[in-house]
């Protein structure tokens, strides 16, 4: 490493003195050496594990878990060098200096070189304030660039010495960092997490939590860092299925997908609601259709639809067997139909029902004829065509897409499975194509897949069972041949006869395993960003995946495109979520100049909107231009700004596709939620629509700007 990690510009020469930075350089030298040895050690342990036999059962799981953990650790160490260190804090009573890192690091003697930012000891680094210093005398945060510290700022919680005062520019430096140029990926903001954000990140996960905040308050930052914190601090989440993070759209996921790996977590699954089913669609229902579908409980609708195909026969059936006539009574069918767990999908349960029925009938025959061999009886009965036909009629194999589509094409069917709909509503929701999917259908497709199962999976499972049975028969033949050929005095092969040898020869690992649905759950915790727009039907998709009801719900009612007239508690209580609510009220992203223009826009349609207070000014007023000046304005901005992203927000993105460039993107107002850009141009914002949706779209679009906002219209600027 260089003689000093600090590479401060000349304007910060007052900070570049041995009294202020030499202790850091000495500590960084120790960290650097330890990182090198840790890299070598982790690589060696990984190589040993990968060379070791895979094993089976719990041993295989432990090996895979260790490989995953070490791979994540190695990835983090490779991604960062000394910039793995975020800052330091000094405790007032002892003078102890504690350095905070993206991960923990100890020296050879076990002493802490870095404390993981999620550890309890690190909390004061983020949470201390002048009003509540949490035992600190000072706190220092670093700004890294290309592996060197290009700035740092100190906060003093007690009186400062003359030498220290040169670095006490914490607020100025922090405010300046908020205006840094954006890129296609979210900035690394871990070192600048604020106390109000940190308290939410570290909140317990024992009850559903709502994080309410307006634009620029750091809701997404909180959500992502909370995901990493919860996986670190609450082992029950990992053991209950892990953590799912749900974002509003693909552009948002692309923007944030690098954040969690930078925090040392790569096990979080990120998705949109549309990703939860393999069917894709860009079509939308009309407003009334979407509203009607959104208020339904998809699980209840599909359960009623499927239960029609699970009706036990009510008449007796007599079948002819070699042991005499056998009567299958309605009671036998009823017992078989109820002999499965309610959480087993329909197609899987069909086999369970069949097996239970064969058990019942076999027992009847064996009780009547003691010489009857149960296996022979069962095999004989199982081949009876009449019995099979009755089962096929009363519990048929179903395709979930057929059920999910039929409810929208057969009025009587929809009336039966959704009795809360009026006749007029049922008529409105009808369509001609059963599989002409819309986005509002996705919760019903998901519920159908969960309730019915995938027919392809059933076929694959039956094929595997047939292969296993054939392999067992083959092993039985091998055993018989070995026993017959055994002429040893001790008859050793006789000792191996039966299941011991058969099991030793069997090779279940050679058979194809079912590929699990990675997004089916269950999960130990789900974080939902931009949750204000979710319908009841969409919430049920998530509730089905999280039995513990462990949710972090992030959103802003003022950004709900279709209105949000209730409180969060009123909105979620009827879904079974009794939430705690916290609020973020400081806008760290949007300049005051932009917010002063955006606030009246949202107040016009939502008078009581929670509009956050901006903490910085850009010095650039909002401008208004003609649309024919957009191209030249963008060109001039790109010339004068070597960094940063421009976004043109318009209702007609295709008509502006010609201006897309490396640092210029074009999006619709419904697509920009959760994103941020240096320079935002709104084309014809009045054309975004009237009412709540139009006002919300304008407000959301305006508040994406971190530096400058321009509105463009066909009329001359006023």
Binding residue positions for ATP: 213-220
Query: Which H or E element spans position 415?
Result: helix 411-417
Query: DSSP label at 606?
Result: -
Alpha-carbon distance 523 to 300, whole Å? 21
Strand-by-strand arrangement of the 705-713 sheet: 623-626, 705-713, 677-683, 646-649, 664-667
Going 429 to 431 to 434 to 435, the CA torsion angle's sign is negative
| Pairing status of strand 317-321 against strand 97-101 | unpaired
Tokens matching residue 542: 């998530």
Cα→Cα distances 697→199, 200, 314, 401, 531, Å? 30, 28, 57, 34, 16
Query: Would you tell me how many other CB atoms lie within 10 Å of the CB of residue 449?
Result: 23
Going 599 to 602 to 607 to 608, the CA torsion angle's sign is negative
Alpha-carbon distance 683 to 701, whole Å? 10
Cα→Cα distances 296→114, 273, 301, 343, Å? 51, 17, 8, 21
**Phi and psi for 704 in degrees, rounded to 5?**
-80, -15
Going 322 to 325 to 328 to 331, the CA torsion angle's sign is negative
Task: Pick the closest to residue 86 from 73, 96, 68, 99 (CA basis).
Answer: 99
H helical segments located in 422-454: 423-429, 442-452
Specify the residue for token string 């948002």: 252
Instruction: Return the exposure string of 176-189: e unless at least 16 CB atoms fall within 10 Å of the residue's CB, then b.
Output: ebbbeebeeebbbb
588: exposed, middle or buried (Cβ count in 10 Å: 0-12, 13-18, 19+): buried
Alpha-carbon distance 101 to 262, whole Å? 11
**Phi and psi for 90 in degrees, rounded to 5?**
-120, 130
Phi-psi category of 373—alpha, beta or left, where left has phi over 0 and alpha has psi -120 to 50? Answer: beta
Query: Would you tell me how many other CB atoms lie within 10 Å of the CB of residue 597?
Result: 15
Q: Which residues are documented as binding site? A: 213-220
296: exposed, middle or buried (Cβ count in 10 Å: 0-12, 13-18, 19+): buried
Instruction: Return the exposure string of 235-272: e unless at least 16 CB atoms fall within 10 Å of the residue's CB, then b.
Output: eebbebbbbbbbbbbebbbebbeebbebbbbeebbbee
Neighbouring residues of 507: CB distance < 8 A, sequence distance ≥ 6: 471
Query: Which H or E element spans position 477?
Result: helix 455-484
**Phi and psi for 555 in degrees, rounded to 5?**
180, 180
H helical segments located in 630-715: 630-640, 691-702
Specify the residue for token string 């007690």: 158
- Asked whether 179 and 707 are in contact (CB, 8 A), the reply is yes
Alpha-carbon distance 74 to 355, whole Å? 50
Planar angle of CA 103, 106, 111, nearest 5 degrees: 135
Task: Pick the closest to residue 153 from 266, 15, 311 (CA basis).
Answer: 15
Neighbouring residues of 13: CB distance < 8 A, sequence distance ≥ 6: none
């Amino acid at each position: 490493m260089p003689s000093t990690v600090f590479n401060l510009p000349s304007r910060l020469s007052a900070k570049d003195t041995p009294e202020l930075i030499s202790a850091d350089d000495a500590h960084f030298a120790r960290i650097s050496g330890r990182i090198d040895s840790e890299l070598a050690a982790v690589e060696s342990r990984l190589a040993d594990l990968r060379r070791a036999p895979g094993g089976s059962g719990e041993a295989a799981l432990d090996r895979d878990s260790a490989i995953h953990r070490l791979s994540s650790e190695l990835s983090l160490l490779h991604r960062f060098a000394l910039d793995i260190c975020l800052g330091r804090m000094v405790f007032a009573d002892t003078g102890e200096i504690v350095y905070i890192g993206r991960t923990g690091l100890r020296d050879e003697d076990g002493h802490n070189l870095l404390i993981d930012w999620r550890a309890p000891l690190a909390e004061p680094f983020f949470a201390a304030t002048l009003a509540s210093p949490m035992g600190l005398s000072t706190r220092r945060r670093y700004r890294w660039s290309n592996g060197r510290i290009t700035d740092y700022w100190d906060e003093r919680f007690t009186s400062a010495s003359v030498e220290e005062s040169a670095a006490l520019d914490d607020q100025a430096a922090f405010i300046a960092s908020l205006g840094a140029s954006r890129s296609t990926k979210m900035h690394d903001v871990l070192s600048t997490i604020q106390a109000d954000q940190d308290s939410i990140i570290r909140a317990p996960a024992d009850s559903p939590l709502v994080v309410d905040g307006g634009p620029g308050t750091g809701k997404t930052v909180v959500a992502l860092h909370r995901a990493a914190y919860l996986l670190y601090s609450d082992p029950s989440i990992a053991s209950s299925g892990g953590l799912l993070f749900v974002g509003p759209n693909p552009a948002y996921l692309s923007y944030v997908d690098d954040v969690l790996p930078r925090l040392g977590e790569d096990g979080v699954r990120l998705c949109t609601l549309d990703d939860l089913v393999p069917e894709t669609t860009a079509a939308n229902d009309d407003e009334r259709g979407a509203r009607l579908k959104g208020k339904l409980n998809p699980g209840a609708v599909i359960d009623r639809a499927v239960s029609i195909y699970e009706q036990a026969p009510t008449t007796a059936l007599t079948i002819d067997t070699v042991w005499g006539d056998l009567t299958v009574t309605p009671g036998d069918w009823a017992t078989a139909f109820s002999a499965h767990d309610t959480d087993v999908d329909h197609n899987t349960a069909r086999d369970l029902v069949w097996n239970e029925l064969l058990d019942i009938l076999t027992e009847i025959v064996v009780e009547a004829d003691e010489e009857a061999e149960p296996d022979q009886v069962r095999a004989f009965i199982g081949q009876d065509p009449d019995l099979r036909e009755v089962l096929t009629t009363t519990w048929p194999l179903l395709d979930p897409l057929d059920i999910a589509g039929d409810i929208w094409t057969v009025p009587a069917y929809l009336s039966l499975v959704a009795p809360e709909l009026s006749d007029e509503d049922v008529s409105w929701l009808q369509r001609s194509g059963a599989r002409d999917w819309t986005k509002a259908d996705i919760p019903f497709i998901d519920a159908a897949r969960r309730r019915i199962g995938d027919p392809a999976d059933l076929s694959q499972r039956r094929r595997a069972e047939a292969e296993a049975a054939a392999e067992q028969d083959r092993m039985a033949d091998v055993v018989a041949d070995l026993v017959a050929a055994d002429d040893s005095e001790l008859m050793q092969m006789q000792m191996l006869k039966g299941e011991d040898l058969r099991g030793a020869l069997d090779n279940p690992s050679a058979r194809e395993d079912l590929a699990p649905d990675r997004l089916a759950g269950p999960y130990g915790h789900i974080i939902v960003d931009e949750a204000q727009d979710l319908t009841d039907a969409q919430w049920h998709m998530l509730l089905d995946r999280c039995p513990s009801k462990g949710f972090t719900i992030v959103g802003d009612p003022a950004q709900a495109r279709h209105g949000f007239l209730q409180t969060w508690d009123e909105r979620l209580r009827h879904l079974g979520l009794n939430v705690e609510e916290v609020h973020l009220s400081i806008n760290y992203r949007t300049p005051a100049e932009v917010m002063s223009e955006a606030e009246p826009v949202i107040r016009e349609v939502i008078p009581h909107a929670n509009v956050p207070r901006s903490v910085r000014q850009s010095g650039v007023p909002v401008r208004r231009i003609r649309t024919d000046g957009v191209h030249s304005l963008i060109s001039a901005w790109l010339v004068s700004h070597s960094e940063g992203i421009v976004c043109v927000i318009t209702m007609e993105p295709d008509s502006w596709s010609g201006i897309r460039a490396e640092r210029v993107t074009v999006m619709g107002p419904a697509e920009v939620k959760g994103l941020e850009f240096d320079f935002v141009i709104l084309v014809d914002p009045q054309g975004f629509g009237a009412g709540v949706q139009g006002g919300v779209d304008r407000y959301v679009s305006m508040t994406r700007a971190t530096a400058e906002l321009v509105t463009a219209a066909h009329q001359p600027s006023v």
